Amino acid sequence: MHRSIRNAVRLVPLAFVLLVPAARGGESDALPPAVSNAKAQLLSQFFAQSAGASPAVLEYRRKLQEYQAARAAFDEEAGAYWSQISEKRRGRNAKRRSGQQITLEDYVLEHPPLYNGPKRPVNPEPEETPDRPTKKPIPVVADLLRAAQELYQFTPQRPSSEVEFKRVYARYALASGLTREQAVRVYAFETGGTGSYDVQAGIEHGGKRAISTAMGYNQLLTTNSVELLAEQGHEFIRALSDKVARTSGPARQSLEHKLTILKKMVAHAKSVPDTWSEHEKIGNTAQGWAMHAMVLDIDIGPMLQTHKLLTSVLFARAKGYSRPLSAAELEMMNLTGDGTGLDMVTMPQAMREQVPTSNFFQRGGYERNPVAIRHNTVAKLLAVTDTRMDSNSNNAGARELAGAF
């Protein structure tokens, strides 16, 4: 019922516009009978529904019409802008594939429109609310451990202390090619400089509810864990095999069991095409939760955390970018994806000052990102990332990680 009222309100002005020329112009300007009848029925329905409505309801309908008109005008303008963003992005990708230089002309240099019209009014009458699908609960550490035990009969070996995990992570990160600055400053940005190896997004700084599966120093999602096992699993198996060879007694038996489980997980991760979407499908299942539990393991966890960043470093190097990445540049690749992040990283400083951050987002992501909106050029976004890293690097966890290096 209420939906039809809103549609009627939205269409009434058009009905009046169409009826006016007929009143002025006589028979030659009269509307076709079918159209005239339809408009007459619409007007009749509208006025019938409005009859007896309270002043509050009439005011709501007036404000709703204003809101819908303003929102429609904004959506038309924004749609054109974001279509241009997509077109420019396709053009840049094509130029990169053919080895051509990227210039300012390959970016949209205007900032996106932001809606500043009237807010949607609150209906004083009760409305039917559509049934929303029940959201699946986000798995937490207890769920990951349960899945690992049920599917693989495995429990990750937790560190004896936070500093033990940090030392293992620092040792492996340095040996793999990450720098102390990169590891510590990204950790400071991702966790606020206080996060533990098992910290989960939302359950931190007094938070009680997980908001995603992002976990650990570099905030890996379940999909990240599946993807890293698929793409870097051979390296994890090699490193753990070397440790097994150096160990004896009961400790060796435990490591051999872990190695067997790791090989199974890697095989399962490799059993689907190597794409984010396929890895995400696994990540949303109990099998993906079990793989994600490896983030908690003292041997596998540091390797997963390291390669979350190292893959970006290697990606940049493979694309011919040999200069060491600053921590802020590495974080851009970590946050936005390697391809998009490298687009920003390879940009000369003069261009960074001019290119809006909107060039590197989809519309929905940008409009929900107050940081990107407020710091609306590449230079400003990198600068605020550096500032936050500077501040958070003074916190206890970041200082402890720096000491582990």
Where do the domains of the chain lie?
2-106, 141-404
CA pseudo-torsion sign 28, 32, 36, 39: negative
Q: Looking at residue 135, what is its pLDDT?
A: 80
CB 295 within 8 A of CB 273: no
Task: Tell me the C-alpha distance between 239 and 9, whole Å.
Answer: 68
**Residue 205's pLDDT is what?**
72
Which residues touch 341 (CB under 8 Å, ≥6 apart)? Answer: 312, 329, 332, 333, 334, 335
Reported pTM = 0.79
Alpha-carbon distance 245 to 85, whole Å? 53
CA distances from 234 to 240, 290, 349 (A): 10, 19, 38
| Three-state secondary structure call for residue 77 | helix
The residue type found at 331 is E
The amino acid at 71 = R
- Upper half-sphere CA count for residue 272 (Cβ side, 13 Å): 17
Which residue type is seen at 99? G
Q: What is the pLDDT along the chain (405 residues), one digit of tens a residue?
A: 443 333 333 333 333 333 333 334 444 445 555 545 555 554 455 554 555 678 888 999 999 999 999 999 999 999 999 999 999 999 999 998 898 999 999 999 999 998 999 999 998 888 777 777 778 889 999 999 999 999 999 999 999 999 999 999 999 999 999 999 999 999 999 999 999 999 999 887 777 889 999 999 999 999 999 999 999 999 999 999 999 999 999 999 999 999 999 999 999 999 999 999 999 999 999 999 999 999 999 999 999 999 999 999 999 999 888 889 999 999 999 888 888 899 999 999 999 999 999 999 999 889 888 999 999 999 999 999 999 999 999 999 999 999 999
> According to DSSP H, which parts of 101-248 are helical?
141-152, 162-176, 180-191, 222-245
Amino acid at 390: D
Measured N-to-C along each axis, helices 222-245 and 249-269 cross at an angle, to the nearest 10 degrees, of: 140
Q: Which of 1, 117, 123, 133 is nearest to 67 (CA)?
A: 117
* Alpha-carbon distances of 382 from 329, 341, 357, rounded to whole Å: 7, 11, 10
pLDDT of residue 40: 55
For the domain made up of 141-404, give the CATH fold.
Answer: Lysozyme (1.10.530)
